[in-house]
Structure 1
Amino acid sequence: MTTHGRALLVRRVIHDGRPVSHVAKELGVSRQCAHRWVARFRAEGAAGLDDRSSRPRRTPTKTRPEREAAVLQARSRLRFGPARLAPETGVPARTISRILHRHQVPPLAWLDPVTGTVIRASRSTTNRYERESPGELVHVDVKKLGRIPDGGGWRAHGRGEQVRGRGIGFDYVHAAVDDHTRLAYAEIHPDEKGTTAAGFLTRAADYFKQHGITTIERVISDNAFAYRNSTAFKKAVADLGATQKFIKPHCPWQNGKVERFNRTLATEWAYRQPFASNQARHDALAPWIEHYNTGRIHSSHGLTPAARVSPT
């Protein structure tokens, strides 16, 4: 029950003098639950209706700090998993797993097997970031999709049916997302060359301008050849008066706004329904983009991207 529901229960029982069983049935809880909240209110007042931690007051079986230190030392020295550390330390494997998790020890797969140093890229920060104003940073990326044969592919006919889908190539969905508002724009092209990406960026900037983002200050992308080495793309960025930025290699979360958009694009447009042809999927993109920007509430700020551009 919410705090409001608990207060409602207490008011009906104590102030209205109604039977606990009747009120419990009205609110859809057991009599034991209702009696517990009434008792807590009588003992503590309104504060007794607040949520409490379910953590026990004392844990007499908790692993002692010296045993935890021994487990961590053995892990650092032997670089074994919990199952092999258990006989070495005398601590159950499941307890070792909890100790390693509690102390944020990286998995063995992340470590160099010779030196034990971390070699797998990890997030440099767990803090969520967002630029302060529209146009301050625009993320760009390309999503690769297999083309749909005429008549539909396996999503329309099932995997058991023989459908012509191999060898017909791929579509490349170029996408741009504004960091602050999440306003998005996408186009489908037959390749991901630098000239194609440059033309897309120019049209994306025009689209953003039509929706209230008049200036783009920075453009960030991954290290794909079209973004890092294309003269045409660099010129397109310069023509916008923007600065080109790149993510750190093997750190795709730095371009996470457009990566998350690509996932939404796939689940809500590309694979939302079985299309009878590739052109049918093409035709469905523009209406979906319009819905994404003007009709779909974004969970990060509770507004549509278009409303975030102009809150009034």
Structure 2
Amino acid sequence: MSKRLPPLKTLHTFLVTAEHLNFTRAAEQLHLTQGAVSRQISNLEDYLGYTLFSRQARGLAMTREGEAILPGLQQAFELISTTLQPRASASDALLNIKLPTCAMRWFMPRLQRFQEQYPEQQFAVATTIDHGVQFDQENFAAAVLYCRQPPKGVEAVQLFREHMTPVCIPSLIRPAQPLLQTSDLLHYPLLHPSRDQHDWRQWLLQFNGPALSPARSYQFDTLDLAINAALQGMGVTMGDRTLVEEELQRGTLITPFPDSWMETGFSYYLVYPARHRSQLQPLARWLTDR
């Protein structure tokens, strides 16, 4: 008799852990404790007779054996997902897209113009502050992801790289206190697109700025919220060149330090499973050609 297969949930835990290479982040996505994820991986390793991950100082690294079984398991879960999907024609199916709120100001006008030219394909957009997607668990045909590298096992098209610099409305800058050098930022409220203040810290480090001790500061959960707060005159925020391009062209936002764009190493990607390639490729080509 053949050896009994491990539970599907254990194999899925392996796939999620392989994506994040971090037990804590995998546990958050799976709504489990870190210990439960670690035990499932340990049980799977006992079943297989070899280790799947090695622990590193900054997380996990996949072993050669883990990398060897990963593609087959991804294909298997993709096949299960495809089999269970309700059948619909490519022309009239409504495709759901998962979109982070920070990308709305760039993506939504372009999607609207695409649908005006190609009305035969309809899309529904769900916004989220989450920067991940699980196509085998969520009812999405595509997603826009903000990441350094897109996950394995999906079609991925790079939309644009992230370049950051401080932005604010022109009227925020007081004539008696101009923004001529980075130390002048200490006199203005800083708006943080994330609670860890990472964007500001990285930019100040790269451009020899002062430590973070401004007059006031405000923290937001998303870049979009911080940009909207800057448009209301609340302070200076980090802004991505592509996401605030229209505001910069209109002059509603300005860059006090125009030669200080920082490439963060992150990009925005349109990703989708191979089964939706024929439906999503026209949109992907249209987005990248403009």
Query: What is the TM-score of this pair, normalised by structure 2?
Result: 0.22
The structure with the larger Rg is 1
Structure ranking higher in helix proportion: 1
Structure ranking higher in strand proportion: 2
